[in-house]
Structures are given as structure tokens and as C-alpha cells.
A and B are shown apart, each in its own frame.
Chain A
Amino acid sequence: MEQFIHNLPPMDLMRSEKMTFVQLIIPVESAHRAITYLGELGLLQFRDLNADKSPFQRTFVNQVKRCAEMSRKLRFFKDQINKAAVVSSPSPALQPVIELEDLEIQLAEHEHELMEMNFNSEKLWQSYNELLEFKIVLQKAGGFLVSSNSHAVSEERELDENVYSNEGYVETASLLEQEMRPRPSNQSGLRFISGIICKSKVLRFERMLFRATRGNMLFNQAPADEQIMDPISTETVEKTVFVVFFSGEQARTKILKICDAFGANCYPVPEDITKQRQITTEVSSRLSELEVTLDVGIRHRNKALTSVGFCLSKWMNMVRREKAVYDTLNMLNFDVTKKCLVGEGWCPIFAKAQIQEALQRATFDSNSQVGIIFHIMDAVESPPTYFRTNHFTSAYQEIVDAYGVPRYQEANPAVYTVITFPFLFAVMFGDWGHGICLLLGALALIARESKLSGQKLGSFMEMLFGGRYILLLMSLFSIYCGLIYNEFFSVPYHIFGGSAYKCRDTSCSDAHTAGLVKYQDCYPFGVDPSWRGSRSELPFLNSLKMKMSILLGVAQMNLGILLSYFNAHFFGSSLDIRYQFVPQMIFLNSLFGYLSLLIVVKWCTGSQADLYHVMIYMFLSPFEDLGENQLFWGQRPLQIMLLLLALIAVPWMLFPKPFILKKLHTERFQGRTYGMLGTSEMDIEVEPDSARHHHEDFNFSEVFVHQMIHSIEFVLGAVSNTASYLRLWALSLAHSELSTVFYEKVLLLAWGYNNLIIRFVGLAVFAFATAFILLMMETLSAFLHALRLHWVEFQNKFYHGDGYKFRPFSFASLTEDDY
């Protein structure tokens, strides 16, 4: 047995990679290059030796800051490029490789240039906007004035006095004032202010004006036809032109203040129509001039942005890597002489040669006098867990990791999950029509693998894409199980020859009451199609699926216990084999293994025995005669023996282990009374392993309680877990019944009518129900139940799952949002 196990071929995925703790002593001059090469290699996980220091107290904080500053500039460029909607494909390998220092200078130049351009164009935009607004105001307000003039004629007489007093004032006003405020009209004493304001503020503006002037004003407004772009936020704003008529100097200052407060821009509009026309043309010509200037500016800016855009992604990548390198360098310690950096970390043993080669290359390339020292050390904590997965296995490893990362070198359930997970799923989802739908989906995802893997997907799509190989196997197995259940969208087919049954007479009228007659050999593969719709369909399928679930469950649980043997064997703990594995194996198999045996015997012999009865009376009255329930000779003595074995197995797994542990502990410390007093340094040199054994206080009661919990959990778990596997039957039943309902009560019912519309509606309902309820909801529920069976029923037999993942320093794992 031992020999056989040793001679098994190694399984890469079964045990995580052997790791080793290494120390690097790197001369300062080659440190940066060495870390860069290691990042390209991506097989060394550094340990943070400066965890107690805050980020800005570390050695390379300035470089990190510079990188952060550069990435800020790059973000700025990206933002600007996105805003300007400049498309520039990155041209690969055209630019020469540039150093970080040069890049920094270059970036600063670009930023400066861009800022200046932005500033200039902003100013231009502002004046452009002003002119545009002026133009709009002229157009709209001109209309108001014309109409108000005709109104004002009637008021002419009353306001005459006012006019003259105002005339004098205007004369003395400054030139600027005159331009700001148009001359009051000769016909009326009213004055006005015209301007433009954001549409959203109009209402409040008007109310405020009304209050401030105590209602002595007239407010006219008209929406502007053109939208005006805000140069800072580059959003277009809807504006409204307004003209306020009022009288009195105090009101004027108030209104101007309010305009100011509301951000309304006031523009003077002459009342004279000829003057208006003159200004309008002037403004228009200036506008077109400005437009040309702006156009040139935009073109210039876009050109600059395009040139930046060429290398943007490359620069971003470079800065990101550079920052990662400095972050890693910050994890290293200076040695005493301050000439070397000391780093510690984990690497897989197979990667040692590669790492050494990379380090040598770094020494050579940086012309360092001193080589990099790379040696293996002993570590206190347990190593990280690292599996070399590929496209196919990584998804399954993810399923296992979601429960808990395997302990270092522990048996990895993912190896078995690859097959058992999709298979158990398929047992619940057995329908080869639905299976084919899933298969098409999975194949579509796999066919577009190379295209999709580069893209950013939505969270749901990403989940589907990540599990594409799980989906593939799940669909293949559900086609297989569907063929066994003989269901194609719940319809049975005669694929493998004719049915074994036929009707008693030609009319087939009593098929549902009296049953069918068997006239030829069994249907060669899967369930006979004639069972469908017969009276005994459900009892037959239920019994079949129930028994099958128990067989599958017992098999998987046995596999789990066997894996606990492999674990104990691997870690050299014979105690676990003798006092845990053996009694567990005996207990499970003497009860549920025996049940499985009975099921198989009953299937083979076609016996009528009642298995419930056998199992129940095996406990209640083991010495009684089995009577008609006897399946094979010698069943009664076998049952008594198995019952005894099961009874013995319980104390066997409960008591010996804690007592033996206690004995071992006391023995170990009897010889140690002197040894412990030696200096600790001596101890480490003599016995390098000592660091690993942290002598904890041995607490017998704790160990005993722990063992008791374990044993009780196993004994009870054996029953409940076996029962839990019955979910395979339950979900499979639910799935087939549900699809039957949709097929018979929707599709067939609709097809019964000779009406095209009803048929079409029925088909549509059937298609939607199949797609959303059966293909999505049912897939999800079967997936979750398969997940539970693996996490709980299978893995609790052997799996610790308290390890931590190997996270090497690698450029490949740096993502977009990482900086």
C-alpha cells in the first residue's frame, strides 16, 4: 500500500508548489534594475520589512511621490483627450525607450503647454461667449424695445417731467456709464437694463427684482435660440434673454447688484434701430473673426493632444511599473553599512534558478562590482499557497478558494472538483435540450475568448466569462445526464432503439390503468421512453434518482475521507490515520456503505425487499429474522457485525487521540528540563527547526473538547450529509417537472388551437420560460446546490482551507486602477 502510494505519478494541482523563504542582499546601485527584472519574472513575493513605518518615512518616498505626480499628469492628459474626443491609436514600438527622468521633464513640458493652451482658449471662449450673448441680446431685446416703444407712447405725457431731469444726469455720466446704460428713450422716462441669464435662475431672478423694486418694474424675457457653452465645464447651458424696465436711480443700482449676484451678464442695447443694426453687424464680424481664431486654437490643441495620445498608454504603463518597483523597494531594509538593501520573501522552489538568472543579469547590466546575494532562510510562519493553474483549471480553483485558500501543501479539492462539480450539477440539471443550449453559450464564450479577455466586461458578463470552462463541462455532463433521464425539453426520444414495452392491445386504451407489457430486452441506454406519462413514472424515477443520489453521495464522502488519509500520510501524522481516518471510514461504510451495497444488490437482483425497513430494523432489532426483506445469504450476521463496528468506531475516534497527544507532550518535556535553559541563539544554531515549533501550552481539556466536537460532528454529519445528497434527487425532480409543465401546459396547449396568434404567443411564452426560468434560474440554483455539496459535504471531511495565497510582485498583475 505504502509502496503503491509512493509510486503514484505526481499531481501538480494536488499539492501546492513547494515554497522557500529567501533573502536577497542587493547592492544599492543594482537594486532598481534587480527589482524590475524580478517584477518581469513575477515569481517572488516580498515581505514588508518596514511595516511599522508610515509611508512617508520610507526610503524611496520621493520617487514614489514623483511617480504619483507623473500619474496625476497622465490622468490630466487622459481626461483632456477624452474631453476633446481625440482618437489616437497608440503606435507600438515607434518611440524610443526613454528614461524616467526624461519622461518627467517631457510630461512637465506637455502639461505646461497644455495648460497654457487651455488658459488661452478659455479666455477666447469667454470673449466669444460674451459676444455671442451680446448678439442674442441684441436680437431679442430689440424686439422688446420696438413693442415697448409703441406701448410707451400713451405714457409719454405723464413721464415727460422725469425725462428732463434724467437728461441732465446722463450728460454728466462717464463714457463707460453711457455705454453700459443706454440713453433713456425720448418718449418715456423708463430706463431699462438688458442682459442674459441662465434659464434655471430666471424665476428667482424675476422674483428678486420684483421685491427689490417693490413691483415697480417690467420684466420681459425670451429664451435664447443658441445654447452657450461653459468653457470650464464644457457643458452647454440654456439661457434666457431679459429686459427689465424700471425708473429711478436707486432701482438701477439695486438691479445691477442683483444681476451681479445672479451671474447675469448685462449688455447695453441702443434703442435706435439703425444704431442697433450697426452694432449687430460689428458684433457679428467680430464673432466670425473669433471663430476662426478659436478653430485654429482647437486644431492646434488637438494636434498636441494627439501627439500625447500616441504614447499615453505606454507612459502610463511605464509610470505604473516604476511606482510598483519603488513601492517594492520601500519594503526592503538597509543593512548596517547602508550600502546594501536587504529583502525577504517567498518564492517557489522551481523558480530559484530563474530568479538567480534574473539577478545575475541585473548585476551585469548595472555594471555592479558586487553581485546580488540570494540565499535560502528559515521562516517562522507557514508558506503561501501557490498553484500553477491554467485557463481551464483556474475557475475551479476559484470555486475552492472562495471557501478558503488551501493550507500550504494540503490536498487540493480543486483536482476532483473539476469533474465532480459539473457532474453533480448535471445530475440536478439533466436535460439534453437545455444542455445543448448551455453548450452553445459556453462555446460562444470560448470561441471569443481571446477577444473578450482583453475587454472590460460588466460584472455579470465577467462572471459568465470567468466560468466559461465550468459552463462547458456542466453543459456536456447535463447532455449526458439528460440522455440517461431521456429528456429533451422534457420530451423522451427513442434514440437508442425501440422501447421495451408495448400496449396490451392495439387500441392502447388501458395503458394508464393496467400498464404495459414488456415484450423485448431492456432499453439499452438510460430511461425507457415509455415510462413517460405512465402511472408508475414518478415512483420509478423517484426511486431511481433517490438511490442514485445516495450512491453518489457515499462515494464522494468516501473520497473526502480518503483524501484525509492522503493528507495525514503526506504530513506524516500516523495518529490521524489510526485514530481518525480508520474509525471514520468504518463508521461511514458500516452504515451508509452498507446501504449503498443493499441498493446495488437490489438493482442487480430485482428483489422486492424494503430497504427502509432493513435499515431501520438493523438498529431497532438487529437479531430478528429479516423475513421477506432478506436480500442475500448471511445478511443478518453481517448487519450485526457492521452495527458493532459502527458502535466501536465512535469511542475509537473520540478518546484515544487526545490521550495520546497528552502522553506525547509530557514525554517530550521530561527530557527537556535542562535544554530549555540554554541561550536561545545557541538553540537556533543547533536545531534550525526549533523556530517552527512554538511550544504552546498544552491544554488537555481544550484538545479533548475539540476532539469531541469533531467526533460528534462527524457522526451526526454522516447522517445529515447523506440526507443532504438527496437534494440531487429533489432538484432533478423539480427541474423535470417544471419543464414538463412548460411544455405540456403552455406549448402543447397553445398548439392545440388552430390559431396562428395563439400558437405564436404560446411559443413565445415557452421560449421565455425556458430561457429565463429553466436556463437561468434553474442553472443558478443547481450551481449553488452543487457548490454547497462540495463546500460542506465533501470538503468538511478533510479540508482545512486556512492558508493564504501567493501574491508575487509582478508587472503582469498590475491593473488599470492600480495607480
Chain B
Amino acid sequence: MYGFEALTFNIHGGYLEAIVRGHRAGLLTAADYNNLCQCETLDDIKMHLSATEYGPYLQNEPSPLHTTTIVEKCTLKLVDDYKHMLCQATEPLSTFLEYITYGHMIDNVVLIVTGTLHERDVQELLEKCHPLGMFDSIATLAVAQNMRELYRLVLVDTPLAPYFSKCITSEDLDDMNIEIMRNTLYKAYLEDFYRFCQKLGGATAEIMSDLLAFEADRRAVNITINSIGTELTRDDRRKLYSNFGLLNLLSVRTLIRFVLSWKNILLISLFLLNYPMERARCLTRHSTKRR
């Protein structure tokens, strides 16, 4: 059907496209941000936001506002909009939309597991989870003692199960393992998402492959920089890299492996690859912060 996408597009996607375009009008503009910069109190922010699409979500909050309430309510709007779209979506759009939440799901799993390791209250942890990445049995994560149990008890029911089967080898849960688990999951997730988008073809594949490649590269750089000075071997490290993206050249990765003054080498390697300038800057800046 490539080339004739537009012919039948409106049957399934017309309404949702209209909604998404409508949401674009609801984004805060530069003028809005300028005004928000001038706010002196949280009430000012609420007052300004009440004129925007966030207004209905904030209007029933009692006056001494907290920053968390504002964030929570604004996220709630995002989640509501997302849920509305998910309800309206048909295949394969609904699957695509679900794929978007898997990233949050991975983060939530990691958050809960880390929290339980440090013996935090589960309810408290649940509040911190991103609402887009919630699944039914998320609270039961706290029961699990090791990776195998984690998989067998909880994750086997979630869409993350196929990704998780790869990191099941490492037995005990500790900080180091959790980070590795997060990155393995992410790698599997990104690759799966990438395959899914390629399968869809058309404009989706074009746009999403670009976006996902950037995400994969960002993670690869992150992993490299954060693993310097840890006992992670280079083979372990290589296992965490996604198998697509612009950085997906072994030579470059080997280069990164010998990093001493990592930032320079990183830039050089990016230039070697003819990496788009804007993105290279983006990547390095991000990595610096993480460091």
C-alpha cells in the first residue's frame, strides 16, 4: 500500500490526526514561557496556566499550591489525552501508541526495584512512577528477590516480558545489576520498536527510524561514559549497545572504549561519522550532565 497511504488514511486515522493537530495548538508558546518566566509566585503560574489548556486541571486546586501538584496535574492532562487517543486508535496505531509507554514502564520497574532494595515504602514509590508506565501488577514487584523471580512473578504478564528474558541470567538484584537490566531492557525495547516501525513502513518508518536512532545513540554514549571506571568489560558493554543507529559501527565503539579524555574523543568520533552537528552537540551536552 505504499504510496496510497493517504487514500484510506482518514478511515482510521482522520479523527486522531485532527486531535493531534488540535493538541499542537494547545502547546505553550514562546510568549507563554516568557510570561511564565516573569511569575513571582506559584499562584501566578496557576493564573497564567488557567488561560491555557491546563486550566481545567488546575482550577480546583486549593490555593497554597505545591510544585508537585502542578507537575502532577499537568502530567495528568498528558495522560488523559494519551488515554483518549489510545481508546480511539485502531491497529496498528494502538500498538504504536502502546510502544511509546514501554519506556516509561521500564523506568517504573527499575524505580520500584531500586526502591525496594533500599527498603522504601511501596506506596511512596508508586506515587513517583510515571502514570504512563503503569501496569496492573506493578505493586507486586516488591515481592521479588532476584531477577528470575521478578520475571516469573510479575513481568511475564507485561509487554516487557520478551525483553526481560535476555537479562534473566544475572541472578541477584543490586544497583549495578539493575542499571544493566535497565539498559538491556531498553536495548531490546528500542530494537523491537525499531523493527515494528520498519514493518509499518511509509512515513512512520522514515520519521521513527530517525528518532529511534537518535535515542539509541544517546543511550550508547550514556552507557559508554557512565561505565568508565566500572568493572564492566568491553564485551558486556557492547552487549548493551543497540544494533542500529548512526553510532552502530564497531570501530567507533572500540574508539570509545579507549576513552581517556572522553569528551574530545567522543566529538572526534562523532565527526568521523559525519554525525549531524546539532545532534552531536546535543549528545555531548547531555552526557556531560550525566557525568
Contact = CB atoms under 8 A, between A and B. Distances in A.
Q: Do A and B interact with each other, yes or no?
A: yes
Interface in B11-64: 35, 38-40, 43-44, 47-48, 50-51, 59-63
Interface string B198-234: 0000000000000000000000000000000000000
A211 interface: yes
Interface in A640-655: none
B48 A257 contact: no
Contact of B122 (A68, A75, A260): A260
Nearest to B141: A261
Contact of B47 (A55, A208, A262): A55
A261 B138 CA distance: 8
A262 B48 CA distance: 40
B153 A54 contact: no
A518 B125 CA distance: 98
B35 A54 contact: yes
B120 interface: no
Interface residues of A, number: 22
A68 B48 CA distance: 13
B119 interface: no
A61 interface: yes
Interface string A25-59: 00000000000000000000000000000111100
Interface string A251-293: 0001001101110000000000000000000000000000000
Nearest to A64: B47
B47 A254 contact: no
Nearest to A819: B59
Contacts of A68: 47, 50, 59
B264 interface: no
Contact of B59 (A61, A72, A208): A72
B152 A211 contact: yes
Interface string A86-124: 000000000000000000000000000000000000000
Contacts, number: 56
A69 interface: yes
Nearest to B122: A261
B132 to A, nearest CB: 20
A65 interface: yes
Contacts of B170: none
Given A57-B38, A72-B62, A261 B152 contact: no
A64 B47 CA distance: 9
Nearest to B47: A56
Given A72-B60, A204-B137, A262-B140, A211 B39 contact: no
Contact of B137 (A65, A257, A261): A261
B152 A54 contact: no
Nearest to B63: A69
A258 to B, nearest CB: 6
A56 B44 contact: yes
A65 B63 CA distance: 9
A254 B62 contact: no
B48 A55 contact: yes
Given A54-B38, A55-B48, A262 B139 contact: yes
B34 to A, nearest CB: 8
A157 to B, nearest CB: 33
B142 interface: yes
A195 B48 CA distance: 49
B117 to A, nearest CB: 15
Contacts of A262: 139-140
Given A55-B47, A56-B48, A211-B153, A257 B143 contact: yes
B58 to A, nearest CB: 10
B196 to A, nearest CB: 27
Interface string B157-199: 1000000000000000000000000000000000000000000
Interface secondary structure of A, over-half rule:
helix
A65 B61 CA distance: 13
A208 B63 CA distance: 43
B5 interface: no
A804 to B, nearest CB: 22
Given A54-B48, A211-B152, A254 B143 contact: yes
B190 to A, nearest CB: 29
Contact of A258 (B40, B44, B143, B157): B143
Interface string B91-132: 000000000000000000000000000000010000000000
B116 to A, nearest CB: 10
Nearest to B40: A56
Interface in A191-220: 204, 208, 211-212
Given A54-B38, A254-B143, A61 B137 contact: no
Contact of A61 (B47, B63, B153, B157): B47
A768 interface: no
Nearest to B143: A257
A76 interface: yes
Nearest to B59: A72
A198 to B, nearest CB: 12
Contacts of A76: 60
Contact of A212 (B44, B60, B143, B157): B143
Nearest to A62: B43
Contacts of B35: 54
A68 B61 CA distance: 11
Interface in A318-364: none
Contacts of B38: 54, 56-57
Nearest to A256: B143
A262 B122 CA distance: 12
Given A54-B35, A208-B153, A261 B62 contact: no
A75 B143 CA distance: 43
Contacts of A64: 47
Contacts of B278: none
Contacts of A212: 143, 153
Nearest to A254: B143
B235 interface: no
A281 B79 CA distance: 47
A55 B137 CA distance: 45
B136 interface: yes
A217 to B, nearest CB: 14
A57 to B, nearest CB: 7
Contacts of A69: 62-63
B51 A208 contact: no
Interface in B224-259: none
Among A54, A57, A76, A212, the one with the most B-chain Cβ atoms within 10 Å of its Cβ is: A54
B140 A258 contact: yes
A721 B39 CA distance: 58
Among A56, A69, A75, A211, the one with the most B-chain Cβ atoms within 10 Å of its Cβ is: A56
A82 to B, nearest CB: 14
Contacts of B137: 204, 208, 261
A72 B51 CA distance: 16
Interface string B53-96: 00000011111000000000000000000000000000000000
Given A55-B48, A75-B60, A208 B43 contact: no
Contacts of B62: 69, 72
B122 to A, nearest CB: 7
Contacts of A65: 43, 47
A263 B229 CA distance: 43
Contacts of B39: 56
Contacts of B122: 260-261
Contacts of B136: 204
Interface in A456-475: none
Given A211-B153, A261-B139, 15 more contacts: A54-B35, A55-B51, A56-B40, A57-B38, A61-B47, A65-B43, A65-B47, A72-B63, A75-B60, A208-B140, A212-B153, A254-B143, A258-B140, A260-B122, A262-B140
17 contacts: A54-B35, A56-B40, A61-B47, A65-B47, A68-B59, A69-B63, A72-B59, A72-B63, A204-B137, A208-B140, A211-B152, A211-B153, A254-B143, A258-B140, A258-B143, A261-B140, A261-B143
Q: Which 6 A-B pairs have the closest CB atoms?
A: A261-B139, A56-B44, A54-B35, A261-B140, A257-B143, A56-B47
